[in-house]
């Protein structure tokens, strides 16, 4: 898709007319379950999740006057694209975005030259790392996609613009259903501000590096508050630089460094320009840098190539350091046994780093994706309050690891070819294996797939990792193709994990080329269908579909291993909805074409098979043997709350009674 040809356009595909103007609702509610402060990527990711819940009253506020229309972050990691697919707009993003396929590296032709030459080209992302690409797409478009989801949801959730949080207080003494009181200031039509108080069950601060929510709960960003000054600009330009449509890292001899990010539309590019080496210290100190300064700096770095900028769509100058909060909620570590969080901070409010690793927006949205399902599970009475502690512990560990990586990457990126640092560069050049492994590691961080959560309430031990070595416990579920048996359609198994707050249990069959092998799968299916210790039966509300909390699916090794739908346990062939219609999309087999066999790709034990438990945020929680149902029950029992449900006296598949066929209690 091409656009921006005759000047900067706000979007490639037009948004619904309802998003073009400020459609902020008129009145703020007096009480809410969740107040989201900030309508940036983190806030809108969380809001889009909660908007689907008619039983959760949500409010989102934003201090700016209207939705974002241009600029800011643009890199979308492969892992984030997987998340976008769960929300339903990955295909739209890919159609409009720039795909990052290769990265070019440029450096001085020699240690004293002001001329740059290409030194290397590498693949941006390892083949097979994800079914989705690393793409570049305006943050404003990402906002639009989430706003559309909110607009089209059952709750019609819309941000309250021109609204600022002033004060926040948590009642830790009384047993108050709405323990958090916030005072908001909202701009009125007559330009006079209006104060309003809202009582909340939970507050989530997605309000950036200068977070008021963070200040109100007494948290501070700690670390290097100042790294280096960088300028950024989106431009339409004519140049003879050959790699202008590739992601490019340029290190000059004396004029600093430049990161080129091609933008969507085929014409626009973004420049990140290091400003420390351009004699701008006084201007930076007095905040008097102009866009002309950025243009001059970029032109010097690109020498001997020319740069003729026709239009600047957006530009900014900023200082970013690597900083991190001690906790991402309002409960101190020593109080975690007795107190549960009521206020959370997300994204830049609790961690900041440089833009060079391309993780800011991605990590922020992942924070929200981690928190959203936990909040909903607790608010619906499906999970214990202890689940909320896992947000800070999981996401802070991720942020710390990324900041440590970003600090090292920034050090290498900022290394100059001066006499004092030449030895460092020469050492890395003569050690190609170390350099290559570093950039492979960088690519995985950029892709967002290096995250691995530690063992916790919602991440099991690695005891059974050998049953599926390619599904690493604590990492995101790495999708692979399968065949849906009902219609023989080839699909990505991971695409069945949508942003709907449900747990998934994928049952991968063992060897079933015998009656006993098939009986093992049938027995497991009937356990989930009828057993008194089945987590599906115990934790699903009486008025919910059988898969409304835990969605169980089976993947056979071959199509001939499967049996007729009418003799399948009801967990694999359930009747759902008000009409009791059958769901035909729970049974799969491996796709043997073109080396797509999921059992081979993910190193699943073909003899024994296994169960893979996947969290609502698409991360692998546990792997269990097919015959160890008690282990699965015990895992869910740690944090989930038993639901009241009418006891089945007889369960049928078609017209056959199946209770106790395999002596299931």
Q: How far is 131 from 62, CA to CA, in rounded Å?
A: 34
Q: How far is 48 from 43, CA to CA, in rounded Å?
A: 9
Helix (H) or strand (E) holding 433: helix 432-447
Q: Please pick, among 355, 481, 569, 616, the residue that the annotation labels catalytic.
A: 355
Contact 530, 537 (CB under 8 A): yes
574 a catalytic residue: no
438 a catalytic residue: no
Estimate the share of the chain in helix, then strand, then coil, as percent rounded to the nearest 5: 30, 25, 45
Q: Please pick, among 79, 201, 263, 615, the residue that the annotation labels catalytic.
A: 263
3-state secondary structure of 491: strand
CA dihedral of residues 517, 519, 521, 526 (deg, nearest 10)? -170
DSSP 267-285: S-EEEEEE-TTTT-HHHHH
Q: How far is 648 from 391, CA to CA, in rounded Å?
A: 36
Q: Please pick, among 98, 161, 267, 272, the residue that the annotation labels catalytic.
A: 272
Cα angle 483-489-491, degrees, rounded to a multiple of 5:
65
Which residue shows structure tokens 């280096």? 228
Q: How far is 124 from 136, CA to CA, in rounded Å?
A: 13
3-state secondary structure of 438: helix
Pairing of strands 652-653, 656-657: antiparallel
Q: Where are the alpha helices (DSSP H) in 531-621?
A: 535-539, 598-601
Q: Per the structure block, which two tokens stand in for 196?
A: 């309003």
619 a catalytic residue: no
Instruction: Please confirm whether the linkage preceding 304 is cis (ω < 30° from 0).
Output: yes
Q: How far is 447 from 457, CA to CA, in rounded Å?
A: 27
Residue 16 gets which letter from DSSP? P
Which positions ≥6 away from 476 have C-beta within 8 Å? 79, 82, 449, 451, 618, 619, 620
Sheet bearing 98-99, strands edge to edge? 75-76, 135-136, 98-99
The burial class, CB within 10 Å (0-12 / 13-18 / 19+), for 54 is exposed
List the end-to-end C-alpha distance of the chain, in Å, as a whole number.
Answer: 58
Q: How far is 390 from 617, CA to CA, in rounded Å?
A: 13
Cβ count within 10 A of residue 117: 11
DSSP 32-77: EEEEEE--SHHHHHHHHHHTT-TTS-EEEE-SSSS---S-S--EE-
355 a catalytic residue: yes
Q: How far is 179 from 202, CA to CA, in rounded Å?
A: 8
Pairing of strands 31-37, 58-61: parallel
Which residue shows structure tokens 């579920």? 477
| Burial call 140-164: b when 16+ CB within 10 Å, e when fewer | bbbbbbbbbbbbebebebbbbbbbb
Q: Please pick, among 74, 547, 561, 583, the residue that the annotation labels catalytic.
A: 74
Give Cα 280 to chain centroid, integer Å: 37
The catalytic residues are 74, 263, 272, 355
């Amino acid at each position: 898709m091409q656009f921006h040809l005759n000047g900067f356009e706000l979007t490639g595909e037009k948004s619904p007319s309802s998003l073009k103007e400020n459609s902020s609702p008129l009145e703020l509610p007096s009480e809410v379950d969740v107040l989201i402060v900030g309508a940036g990527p983190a806030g809108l990711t969380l809001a889009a999740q909660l908007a689907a819940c008619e039983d959760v009253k949500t409010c989102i506020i934003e201090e700016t006057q209207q939705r974002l229309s241009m600029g800011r972050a643009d890199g979308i990691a492969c892992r984030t694209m997987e998340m976008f697919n769960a929300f339903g707009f990955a295909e739209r993003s890919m159609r409009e975005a720039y795909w990052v396929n290769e990265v070019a590296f440029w450096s001085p032709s020699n240690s004293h030259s002001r001329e740059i030459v290409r030194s290397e080209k590498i693949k941006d992302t390892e083949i097979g790392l994800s079914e989705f690409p690393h793409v570049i797409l305006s943050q404003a478009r990402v906002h639009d996609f989430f706003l559309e989801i909110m607009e089209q949801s059952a709750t019609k959730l819309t941000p309250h613009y021109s609204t600022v949080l002033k004060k926040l207080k948590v009642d830790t003494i009384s047993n108050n259903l709405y323990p958090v009181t916030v005072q908001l200031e909202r701009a009125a039509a007559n330009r006079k501000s209006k104060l309003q108080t809202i009582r909340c069950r939970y507050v989530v601060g997605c309000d950036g590096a200068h977070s008021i929510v963070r200040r109100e709960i007494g948290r501070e960003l700690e670390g290097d508050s100042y790294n280096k000054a960088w300028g950024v600009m989106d431009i339409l330009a004519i140049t003879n630089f050959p790699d202008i449509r590739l992601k490019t890292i340029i290190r000059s001899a004396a004029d600093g460094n430049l990161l080129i990010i091609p933008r969507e539309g085929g014409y626009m590019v973004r420049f990140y320009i290091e400003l420390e080496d351009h004699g701008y210290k006084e201007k930076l100190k007095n905040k008097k840098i102009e866009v002309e300064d950025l243009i001059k700096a970029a032109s010097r770095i690109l020498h001997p190539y020319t740069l003729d900028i026709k239009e600047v769509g957006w530009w900014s100058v900023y200082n970013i350091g690597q900083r991190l909060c001690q906790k991402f909620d309002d409960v101190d570590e020593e109080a975690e046994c007795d107190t549960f969080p009521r206020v959370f901070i997300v994204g830049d409010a609790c961690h900041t780093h440089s833009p060079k690793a391309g993780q800011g927006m991605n990590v922020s949205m992942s924070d929200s994706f981690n928190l959203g399902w936990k909040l909903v599970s607790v608010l619906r009475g499906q999970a214990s309050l202890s689940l909320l502690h896992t947000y800070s512990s999981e996401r802070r560990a991720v942020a710390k690891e990324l900041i440590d990586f970003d600090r090292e990457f920034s050090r290498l990126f900022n290394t100059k070819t001066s006499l004092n640092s030449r030895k460092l560069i020469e050492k890395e050049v003569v050690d190609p294996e170390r350099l290559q492994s570093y950039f492979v590691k960088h690519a995985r961080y950029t892709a967002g797939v290096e995250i691995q959560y530690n063992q916790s309430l919602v991440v099991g031990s690695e005891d059974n990792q050998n049953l599926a070595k390619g599904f690493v416990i604590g990492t995101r579920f790495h999708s692979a193709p399968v065949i849906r048996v009902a219609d023989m359609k080839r699909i990505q198994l991971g695409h069945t994990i949508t942003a709907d707050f449900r747990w998934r249990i994928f049952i991968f069959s063992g060897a079933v080329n015998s009656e006993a092998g098939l009986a093992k799968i049938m027995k497991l299916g009937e356990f989930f269908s009828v057993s008194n210790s089945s987590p599906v039966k115990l934790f699903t509300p009486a008025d919910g579909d059988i898969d409304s909390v835990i969605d169980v699916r089976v993947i056979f090794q071959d199509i001939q291993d499967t049996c007729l739908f009418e003799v399948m346990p009801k967990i694999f062939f359930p009747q759902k909805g008000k009409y009791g219609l059958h769901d035909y999309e729970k049974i799969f087999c491996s796709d043997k074409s073109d080396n797509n066999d999921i059992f081979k790709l993910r190193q699943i034990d073909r003899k024994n098979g296994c169960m893979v438990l996947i969290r609502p945020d698409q991360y692998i929680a546990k792997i269990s043997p097919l015959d160890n149902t008690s282990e699965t029950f015990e895992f869910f029992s740690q944090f989930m709350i038993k639901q009241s449900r009418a006891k089945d006296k007889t369960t049928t598949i078609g017209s056959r009674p199946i209770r106790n066929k395999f002596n299931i209690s």
